[in-house]
Amino acid sequence: MPEYRRILLDGAVVETVRDGDELVAGDGRRVAVADAHHLPPVTPSKVIAVHLNHRSRVDEFRIGLPDTPTYFHKPTSSLNAHGGAIVRPEGCQWLNYEGEVAIVVGRTARNISPEEAGDYIAGYTVANDYGLHDFRDTDAGSMLRVKGADTLCPLGPGLVTDWDFRGKRLRTYVNGEVVQDGSTDEMTWDMHYLVADIARTITLYPGDVLLSGTPANSRPVQPGDVVEVEVEGLGRLTNRIVTGPTPIRTDVGAQPTESEEVLSTALGGDWEFRGIRPPKR
């Protein structure tokens, strides 16, 4: 399966092909995979993520799924890469990992069937759909501040083509310990369905990314933690958590909270008061 990576090489953005432990540029230059400065493997015009898809995650929250998927948007300013730092803003503490498979669109797609969708997919990469649940009380609907903050959408390390998504294992590690262990077979809606569903009303362009959902056991991480997401056949995406250099401003907007809704989402689905938010003032 060919794997393509975008890296920074001699000050320029370069497209490379992986050849064993090396990355090869079009002009023949080679750099060791371990030494490369990685960039996101694609440059999407939009990143769209499904809320819930893996059955283990649904069971964890003790809820039912709707008949069809629901989605949220992660702005392109949240993009990050393999080896990049994930910034938890000062004043926040409920930053959760969510290991996922990312679908990358290869052709302009609009009003296609699930049976046709595979022809519009360029390939797949690994994603970590980080969520800053400190803002869940105010952004639970849009998820904009929860999922859209800068650095919270790492993709990589490469774009893999000709990858069959069926029956693939997905694992997330924190400091070397397995914390999520799932399979693409537990997805309620597969990759082709998700692409076709979105493309009914939203035109998908080459490079656009769809995040396909995470299995159970998303939990908070702390500054200094190393988080890795490994998907069978796609590789391992590695990032380190750091504290942001400036605190969340207090003179504008919603502030971080620690309600039962925040805690039940950050720490798992077995909380008695899940779904209860503070009363509005």
pLDDT band at 273 (very low <50, low <70, confident <90, very high): low
- Residue 144's alpha-carbon distances to 56, 152, 163, 243, 273, in angstroms, are 24, 11, 31, 20, 23
Q: Could you tell me if 101 and 170 are in contact, meaning their C-beta atoms sit under 8 angstroms apart?
A: yes
pLDDT surpassing 90 at residue 270? no
What is the predicted pLDDT for the residue at 145? 92
Q: Report residue 18 as tokens.
A: 């992986």
pLDDT in tens, 63-115: 889 999 999 999 999 999 999 999 999 999 999 999 999 999 999 999 999 99
pLDDT surpassing 50 at residue 281? no
pLDDT band at 272 (very low <50, low <70, confident <90, very high): low
pLDDT surpassing 50 at residue 118? yes
pLDDT surpassing 70 at residue 248? yes
Q: Which residue has the tokens 């052709």?
A: 107
Q: State mean pLDDT over 17-24.
A: 98
pLDDT surpassing 60 at residue 175? yes
Question: How confident is the prediction for the chain on average, in pLDDT?
Answer: 93
Q: State mean pLDDT over 33-50.
A: 98
